Amino acid sequence: MYLHIKRFADIFISLCGILALWPLMLVTAVLIKLESKGPAIFKQQRLGKGGKVFEIYKFRSMCQGAEHTGSGVYSSKGDARVTKVGKIIRATSIDELPQLFNILKGDMSLIGPRPPLTYHPWPIEEYTEAQLHMFDTRPGITGWAQVNGRKDVEWNRRIELNCWYNENVSLSLDIKIFFMTIFKVFTNADNENTKETVTANETQKEEVTV
């Protein structure tokens, strides 16, 4: 029952968010275009509910062609590929705002497991039966794994946290995650990717902020 209410709430909140934040999003897009060549919106394939592939939207925070530099998909502190505007929108999580449109489309929810890449940490065929429960609900802009370490959590543990969320999803838990997320954003906590092994295939994509 709650999941049906959650979907209506997602639509309402995303619409309100777009109406309230469109000036900020417009200014952000203009600043990105003025600073560097390339589109203001970065699109990337991710795994959503039921393992279905969808295209996630983010404001581009890296220079065009960053995926061809050989530095891999993960950016760390001091990464030269991140633009000046990109550093600001990453630190404030403004780069995630276009995902409000993903919510309207039905690809995502405000709160839920962050959608992984189609090939990283591994293809969906390599997820265990238990890990596949991470895809039982719509992925979110923020989630239980994000407020419990965000990018400083090893992938197996992230998946465990996401599965736990899907087993215990409730209004009270979503409210808790919402306020914990606000704290994380304002303190910029756990917002740098930890060092991970990156394969040659992963260098074909531009950027990952998960």
Per-residue pLDDT at 210: 44
Q: What is the pLDDT of residues 51-110, one digit of tens each?
A: 999 999 999 998 866 555 554 555 545 567 889 999 999 989 999 999 999 999 999 999
* Separation of alpha carbons 132 and 91, rounded Å: 31
Single-letter amino acid, residue 10: D
The pLDDT of 156-165, averaged and rounded, is 96
pLDDT of residue 197: 38
User: Given 3-state DSSP classes, what are the helix, strand and coil percentages for the chain, each rounded to the nearest 5?
Assistant: 50, 10, 40
Write out the two tokens for 102: 């993903």
- CA–CA dist 196, 53 (Å, integer): 24
Q: In Å, what is the CA distance from 168 to each residue of 5, 132, 136, 164, 204?
A: 16, 16, 12, 6, 36
The band of 190, judged by pLDDT with boundaries at 50, 70 and 90, is low
CB-based contacts of 140: which residues, under 8 Å, 6+ apart?
A: 108, 109, 110, 111, 112, 113, 114
pLDDT value for 184: 85
- The answer to whether 140 and 71 have CB atoms below 8 angstroms apart is no
CA distance 7 to 93: 23
The model's pLDDT over 21-55, given as tens digits with 9 standing for 90+, comes to: 999 999 999 999 999 889 999 999 999 999 999 99
Kindly report the pTM of this predicted structure: 0.83
List the one residue out of 14, 34, 153 whose CA is nearest residue 84: 34
Under a CB-based contact definition with an 8 Å cutoff, are residues 77 and 192 in contact?
yes
